[in-house]
Amino acid sequence: MNWLTNYVRPRFRALVRSGTKPEVPENLWHQCSSCERMIFHRDLEANQRVCPHCNHHMRVGPEYRFQSLLDEGSWSRIELPKVPLDPLKFRDSKRYADRLKEAQGKTRTQDALEAAHGRIDGLPAVVAVMNFEFMAGSMGAAVGEAFVTAARLAVLQEAAFIIVTSSGGARMQEGAVSLMQMARTTLAVEEVKEAGLPYIVLLTDPTTGGVTASFAMLGDIHIAEPGAVIGFAGARVIEQTIRETLPEGFQKAEYLLEHGMVDMVVHRFEMRATMARLLGLLFRRQHPPSEPAGKPAIVRPAEAVLAPAPAVAPARSGDKPAESATDEAEAAAPAPKSGD
Ligand SMILES: [Zn+2]
């Protein structure tokens, strides 16, 4: 077999190639993984890597997301802390240390999460993007550390925090250490929320496992790309466990939108505009988008309680007409802290 694969097959290929025209470089045409039709690479780029035939949203990496979401020239990458690699000295068919090196060589990045800070339509934002190319976007200590760093920078800069997820879940080669990242990232999200800053999750294909079970489901707003698979366990595993056939489109973004697990399914063409609009609403923007970006008015929860909307203000004031003693007592009491 070795003789056949190592010697005969390459020689045979060389013979076949020498007799034909020079080969077209493979990367000029791209085959859509959904409809299997061929797309010329320039058409694909012009279409934001969405299949022009079937609208399939292909996976894109962090650099692409930074460029497409953040204002041109406004952003720069965040340097992420290094973490001890391979804490368990894990080995399956390959050493984990070797797998890491291989992934780092292939993607030219340290690990599966990258982050940048900049502006979206003039509003400050920290964007963290998971890279599915790096060991299926799995979450280990490095991803957890990167997430916490990006979240804290958002708090420091009073910026919105946006995470673009794409992950197979926790990184099994790091065992319990990877599971601990679920708690760490959840606490980092809490820090952003305590600072009264928006935390937006953009779910892209696929978002599964420990990532779905932690920071990917904690957003103020969940946006998903069309057709993205989002779930905890895979459909096959669920089917085998519950011994029932799952409904059509189960775990797809559109199905989850119908069932209330995501807030919006947004086409990639509309993503930047949607993100800008949401940030404008959440920051209660006071400047029109065309004006030079000033410091946005951040409305913290405490201020929101102190300054109720005009419609609510009369109800909160103490001098509303009271009909009985109980009402008077209620009216005299301070306005409740919870409310609109
Ligand atoms: Zn297609």
- pLDDT of 190 > 50? The answer is yes
* Span from the CA of 286 to the centroid of ligand 1 (angstroms): 41
- pLDDT of 36 > 70? The answer is yes
The mean per-residue pLDDT over the stretch 169-198 comes to: 96
* Span from the CA of 132 to the centroid of ligand 1 (angstroms): 20
* Span from the CA of 57 to the centroid of ligand 1 (angstroms): 8
By the 8 A CB rule, do 76 and 118 touch? yes
Say which residue, 27 or 47, is predicted with more confidence.
47
Domain contains 310: no
One domain for residues 45 and 138: no
* Span from the CA of 268 to the centroid of ligand 1 (angstroms): 15
One domain for residues 48 and 70: no
One domain for residues 45 and 95: no
* Span from the CA of 54 to the centroid of ligand 1 (angstroms): 4
Q: What are phi and psi of 129, to 5 degrees?
A: -130, 130
One domain for residues 38 and 154: no
* Span from the CA of 58 to the centroid of ligand 1 (angstroms): 9
Structure confidence at residue 310 (pLDDT) = 55
- pLDDT of 16 > 60? The answer is no
* Span from the CA of 120 to the centroid of ligand 1 (angstroms): 30
* Span from the CA of 260 to the centroid of ligand 1 (angstroms): 27
In this prediction, residue 302 has a pLDDT band, given cuts at 50, 70 and 90, of very low
Domain boundary among 244, 264, 282: 282
CA distance to 178, 285, 296, 321, per residue, from 253 (Å): 26, 29, 32, 50
Structure confidence at residue 67 (pLDDT) = 97
Tokens 């029109």 sit at which residue?
288
DSSP string, 131-160: -TTTGGG-B-HHHHHHHHHHHHHHHHTT-E
**Cα separation of 167 and 223, whole Å?**
16
Question: How far apart, in Å, do the first and last CA atoms of the chain sit?
Answer: 73
One domain for residues 38 and 142: no
The mean per-residue pLDDT over the stretch 286-305 comes to: 49
* Both tokens assigned to 27: 């990367």
Query: What CATH number is attached to the domain comprising 89?
Result: 3.90.226.10
| Predicted TM-score (pTM) of this structure | 0.77
* Span from the CA of 56 to the centroid of ligand 1 (angstroms): 5
- pLDDT of 312 > 70? The answer is no
Domain contains 332: no
One domain for residues 130 and 142: yes
One domain for residues 71 and 193: yes
One domain for residues 154 and 264: yes
* Span from the CA of 29 to the centroid of ligand 1 (angstroms): 13
* Containing structural domain, residue 49: 27-58
One domain for residues 266 and 160: yes
* Span from the CA of 46 to the centroid of ligand 1 (angstroms): 15
Q: Is the dihedral of CA 233, 98, 204, 26 positive or negative?
A: negative
- pLDDT of 318 > 60? The answer is no
Domain contains 94: yes
* Span from the CA of 22 to the centroid of ligand 1 (angstroms): 28
Closest CA to 225 of 257, 203, 194: 203
One domain for residues 205 and 272: yes
Q: Find which of 1-10, 61-70, 313-322 is predicted with most confidence, using mean pLDDT.
A: 61-70
- pLDDT of 3 > 80? The answer is no
| Number of domain units in the chain | 2
* Span from the CA of 38 to the centroid of ligand 1 (angstroms): 8
Domain contains 313: no
* Span from the CA of 169 to the centroid of ligand 1 (angstroms): 26
* Span from the CA of 37 to the centroid of ligand 1 (angstroms): 6
* Both tokens assigned to 121: 């339509």
Domain contains 95: yes
Domain boundary among 58, 77, 104: 58
Domain contains 101: yes
Q: Which of 189-203, 240-254, 304-318 has the lowest mean pLDDT?
A: 304-318
Domain contains 334: no
Q: What are phi and psi of 273, to 5 degrees?
A: -65, -40
Whole-number average pLDDT of the chain: 85
- pLDDT of 77 > 90? The answer is yes
- pLDDT of 300 > 60? The answer is no
